[in-house]
Homo-oligomer: A and B are copies of this chain.
Amino acid sequence: MFVTQKNQYALKAIVELAKRAGSGPVKISEIAQAQSIPLRFLEVILGQLKGSGFVASKRGYCGGYFLICRPEKISVGHVLRFMQGDPARHSCAACVSRGACPMEYDCAFATLFNRASEAVFKIFDETTIQDLVDGDTKGSS
C-alpha cells in the first residue's frame, strides 16, 4: 500500500470535481455520496486541499467546492506530495518516522530506496487527474 486511504479520498474528491467541472460549486455532501467517502472526514480533507492551489470553495447557499486548475494540469504526484506535507520529512525514502533523516542520507539503503521512490513518483507525475477521469473503473493502459 503506497497511498493511505485519506490520500486516496483526496484523489477521488478531485476526480469528482473534475467530472463536474463547469457546472458550478459541488457540495461536500454530493462528493461524499458520489465517491463513498465519510462526510465528516471529507470535510477535513477538502479543507486541507484548499491549501494546494488546485481547489477552491464558496460558502453559503449554492456554495461548494470546485477546481481552479484544468484536470489535465494536475498530476497524481502533485496531489500526493501536497497531502504528504513537508517534503523534507520524506526526501529520504529510507527514513521511517517524522523529522529529518538522522543518517543524513548516508545509510546503506538510501540509494536503493530513493531509486524506488523516484520510480513511483515518475508514474504518479505522469498520470493526471484527467487520466483518472477517463479511465475510471474501465481499465486504462
Contact = CB atoms under 8 A, between A and B. Distances in A.
Interface of A: 1-5, 8, 11-12, 15, 76, 90, 93-96, 106-109, 111-113, 115-117, 119-120, 122-124, 127, 132, 135-137, 139-140
Given A2-B2, A112-B124, 19 more contacts: A1-B93, A1-B94, A1-B95, A2-B113, A2-B116, A2-B117, A2-B120, A3-B94, A3-B113, A8-B96, A8-B109, A11-B109, A76-B112, A108-B137, A116-B119, A116-B120, A119-B120, A119-B123, A120-B120
How many chain copies? 2
A135 to B, nearest CB: 7
A-B residue pairs, 10 tightest by C-beta: A119-B119, A116-B120, A5-B96, A116-B123, A108-B136, A115-B123, A1-B96, A2-B116, A108-B137, A112-B127
